[in-house]
Amino acid sequence: MSADRIIKLELSRLNLHLPERRLSLKEALSSPRPQVAARDGSMHVFKREELKFLAGLLPEADRDKLQLPILIAMEPKLGRVTARISGEVEVKVVSRVLEKEGAAGELLIYRPEVAILRRKLPTTTQYLFMW
Amino acid sequence: MAVALAVAPTRMELLKLKQRLGLAQKGYDLLKEKMDALVIEFFEVLRRIQEARAKALEQLSVAHRALSMCFAIVGTLETKQASREAKRELQVEISTRHIMGVAVPAVEVGDVERNVLIRGYGLHMTSSVLDEASKEFERALKLLIELAELEESAFAVAREFEKTKRRVNALDYILIPRLKETIKFIMMRLDEMERENFSRLKRIKAILEEHD
Amino acid sequence: MSYKIAVVGDQDTVTGFALAGATYSHIHTAREETLAKLNEFFASGEIGLVLITHRIAEELGFDFRQMLRTKRLPPLVLRIPDKTGYMPKVDELREIIKRTVGAEIMIKKEGG
């Protein structure tokens, strides 16, 4: 049934903008041209000002733990107004950017906060669609 | 009113249909999330457009005023002549970047503002009014280039949004109701068939018992 | 990749942007002629940005909107006011916003 094929195609396309392998903040800062290869073949460049901003929010030790881009997970089971940030260091830094408290390793954020995050970190955050 | 699909009322078919319904619902949920993300991105570009538009249009009107003054003081013919003599080789670098998988243009331009020597209309034409007009238009051009990048990006994101919305609507109004309708129909038929079977077995049992 | 700039407008607009460095220009007189020139600009492969005034874009009407819908990037196309500052009543982006959210929304200026 071609409708099914279209659905499967759309679902497979959802996360093509994400990279196969992420870069740590430390690696990105030390690279002359910080970028990652997205799964659809395009190169995604990180803006240096964002990298510096992130570095300013974290102690030196955490910089090689922060994986970029930071993934904003949109999951239907969380409902449409909520998204999730995972990863200890990721949660730490996003909590600081949004000036809110985060429980260890996981943070739920609401749509207006997603918008703020995307505005402040347009190249170092990306959406991840999960089910 | 959803029209049921034409399928044989068997358990096999029922199972297949339930799987298809699951896929359709998953697709619907996720594409709705994608729509939400696209809206967030779209409004961010829009916000930047509002700022950029205000600046660019203000500068453009400043430029036009300077040009009018130039026409009046230096003369229309002389100004047009200068515009023909000026170096008109401004280059823009266009590459592609992506917002959430949507291809949008990234435009870079070097120095748009030039000094008189680089601008190139004959030195015999030196006039501060002409230079003013040129400078103001150079400034306007730079701002308009940025605005163009933002507007085209907004259109691209909007197009993807509308495409996604069409898919979501097709799932919501056509495919999912059809699948549900068909599933309902098959379950009813299977129920019916089972009851017919059951009563047939009862009759056979009764007949056999009679003979005993 | 590097591209040049083209302007389609009235005398003032064209002169102004030529002084600023725009390579190609076309002063609008007749509809068919301008549409043909635009086709040329779009097909050239050399032009990255086409500036065109709102007034002319409106006059060109459906044919122009159709060109915008079907064209590939580059070139980018930007509609601008001419010296009278003329802008159409219908803002395309506003129309898109209405379709996107189903309602007219004013975006508030935010402090953060």
Domains of chain C: which residue ranges?
4-87
Q: Does C18 touch chain B (CB under 8 A)?
A: yes
Under the banding of pLDDT at 50, 70 and 90, the label for residue C71 is confident
CB nearest B147 (choices: C15, C78, C107): C78
Q: Is residue B97 classed exposed, middle or buried when 0-12, 13-18 and 19+ CB atoms within 10 A define those classes?
A: middle
Q: What is the DSSP letter of A19?
A: B
Q: Give Dmax (Cα) for chain A.
A: 54
Residues in chain B: 212
Considering only alpha carbons, which residue of chain A is nearest residue B101?
A: A17
> What integer pLDDT is reported at residue B212 of this predicted model?
67
Phi, psi of B98 (to 5 degrees): -125, 135
**pLDDT of B116 strictly over 60:** yes
Q: How many CA atoms lie within 13 A of B56 on its CB side?
A: 22
- Write a three-state SS string for C20-56: HCCCEEEECCCHHHHHHHHHHHHHHCCEEEEEEEHHH
- CB contacts < 8 A, A to B, total 72
> What integer pLDDT is reported at residue A121 of this predicted model?
96
Query: Strand, helix or coil at B181?
Result: helix
Residues of B in contact with A118 (CB under 8 A): 40-41, 44
> What integer pLDDT is reported at residue B3 of this predicted model?
63
The pTM for the full model equals 0.88
Residue B39 CA to chain centroid, in angstroms? Answer: 9
Chains contacting C (3 or more CB pairs within 8 Å): B
Written as six digits, the tokens of C111 are 């402090």
Of A76-90, B51-65, C7-21, give the lowest mean pLDDT range: A76-90
Q: Is residue B166 classed exposed, middle or buried when 0-12, 13-18 and 19+ CB atoms within 10 A define those classes?
A: exposed
Percent above pLDDT 70 for chain C: 90
CB nearest B30 (choices: A16, A122, A131): A131
Q: Does C97 touch chain B (CB under 8 A)?
A: yes
pLDDT digits (tens, 9 = 90+) for C45-57: 999 999 999 999 9
Task: Examine residue A69 and say whether the peptide bond preceding it is cis (omega within 30 degrees of 0).
Answer: yes
Query: Are residues B33 and A80, on separate chains, in Cβ contact within 8 Å?
Result: yes
Query: Are residues B98 and A10, on separate chains, in Cβ contact within 8 Å?
Result: no
Between B45 and B123, name the one with better pLDDT. B45
pLDDT digits (tens, 9 = 90+) for B78-103: 899 999 988 899 999 999 888 888 99
Percent above pLDDT 90 for chain B: 70
Nearest-CA distance from A105 to chain B in Å? 23
- Write a three-state SS string for B168-179: HHHHHHHHHHHH
* Domain that residue A27 falls in: 2-129
Give the integer Cα–Cα distance in Å for A88 and A67: 10
Query: Are residues A17 and B97, on separate chains, in Cβ contact within 8 Å?
Result: no
**pLDDT of C106 strictly over 60:** no
Percent above pLDDT 70 for chain B: 95
**Residues of C numbered 34-93 whose beta carbons fall under 8 angstroms of chain B's beta carbons: which are they?**
48-49, 51, 73-74, 76-78, 80-83, 85, 93
> What integer pLDDT is reported at residue C107 of this predicted model?
40
**pLDDT of B73 strictly over 50:** yes
> What integer pLDDT is reported at residue A117 of this predicted model?
96
What kind of architecture, by CATH, is found in domain B11-202? Orthogonal Bundle (1.10)
Which amino acid would we find at residue B130?
L
First to last CA, chain C: 35
Residue C5 and residue B90 in contact, taking contact as beta carbons nearer than 8 Å: yes
Q: Quick one: which of B115, B117, B142 has its CA closest to C17?
A: B142
Domain C4-87 has CATH 3.40.50.10580: yes
Considering only alpha carbons, which residue of chain A is nearest residue B37?
A: A127
Under the banding of pLDDT at 50, 70 and 90, the label for residue A34 is very high
Under the banding of pLDDT at 50, 70 and 90, the label for residue A36 is very high
Q: Give Dmax (Cα) for chain C.
A: 48
**pLDDT of B25 strictly over 70:** yes
Give the integer Cα–Cα distance in Å for B104 and B149: 8
Give the integer Cα–Cα distance in Å for A31 and C112: 30
Give the integer Cα–Cα distance in Å for B202 and B190: 18
pLDDT digits (tens, 9 = 90+) for B142-192: 999 999 999 999 999 999 999 999 999 999 999 999 999 999 999 999 999
Q: Does A7 touch chain B (CB under 8 A)?
A: yes
ipTM for the assembly: 0.91
Q: Does B50 touch chain C (CB under 8 A)?
A: yes
Q: Quick one: which of B49, B47, B46 has its CA closest to B161?
A: B46
Residues of B in contact with C1 (CB under 8 A): 93-95
**Mean of all residue pLDDT scores within chain A:** 92
Q: Quick one: which of C71, C45, C55 has its CA closest to C13?
A: C55
Query: Are residues B34 and A44, on separate chains, in Cβ contact within 8 Å?
Result: no
**pLDDT of C103 strictly over 60:** no
Nearest-CA distance from B120 to chain A in Å? 36
Query: Are residues B105 and C3, on separate chains, in Cβ contact within 8 Å?
Result: no
Under the banding of pLDDT at 50, 70 and 90, the label for residue A116 is very high
> What integer pLDDT is reported at residue B166 of this predicted model?
93
- CA B109-B114-B119 angle, to 5 degrees, is 115
Query: Strand, helix or coil at C103?
Result: coil
Per the structure, how many domains does chain A have?
Answer: 1
- CB contacts < 8 A, B to C, total 135
> What integer pLDDT is reported at residue A101 of this predicted model?
79
Nearest-CA distance from A128 to chain B in Å? 9
Give the integer Cα–Cα distance in Å for B69 and B63: 10
Residue A27 CA to chain centroid, in angstroms? Answer: 16
